[in-house]
Homo-oligomer: A and B are copies of this chain.
Amino acid sequence: MRTKDEEKERLILESALSIIAKTGLAGLRMSDLAKEAKLATGTVYIYFKDKDQLVRKLYLYLMRTTTSDLSSGIQPDDSIKSKIKKISHNYLLDSILKPQKSIFFEQYFRSPFFHETESVLNEEDQILQPIYQLVLEGQRQDIIKKVNPDLIVTIVCGMLESVAKTAVYTDKIVSDSEWELIFGIVWDAIKS
């Protein structure tokens, strides 16, 4: 008997992500997915009940990985600005390295797959929690503009997403000096 490989679920999800990033959710075919993962079509159905469940599990899978990545490298005694810089950098790198992830999220929220389930929006909020907390702390210390913190988070993420999108499109790496430049802009935008 071949052992039911735990890795195979990941393999299938990553293959799906890769295809969706290229063709959009509209272009995901189960047969292509199987080919990409070098499996038989039927095998996919051992690990996922149907296409619907597969897509929804992919969403949760990406949610989970994002959350864990975002706070890495941050020291408790870093300054607020330094923490925000690091977390922004992580966010940017994550968006650049896994542009597929951003693409998937965009697609997912405007799809029949998302609409069929009850809202799972709360989970998305949780990803941004670390950033949100930092903004609150910054406002308390009078370092950050005393504006609705949601707006701050939204705007920062929007800027970073845009930069990431451009970087990926043009296939360029964001150099250290460029990052300094970008964060300068970000910081100017939100500092009080």
Contact = CB atoms under 8 A, between A and B. Distances in A.
Contacts of A25: 24-26
Residue among A163, A181, A185 facing the most chain B CB atoms (10 A cut-off):
A185
Interface in A1-54: 1, 20-28, 40
Number of copies: 4
Interface residues of A, number: 42
A81 interface: no
Interface string A179-192: 00110011011110
Interface of A: 1, 20-28, 40, 103, 106-107, 110-113, 115, 145, 147, 150-151, 154-155, 157-163, 165-166, 181-182, 185-186, 188-191
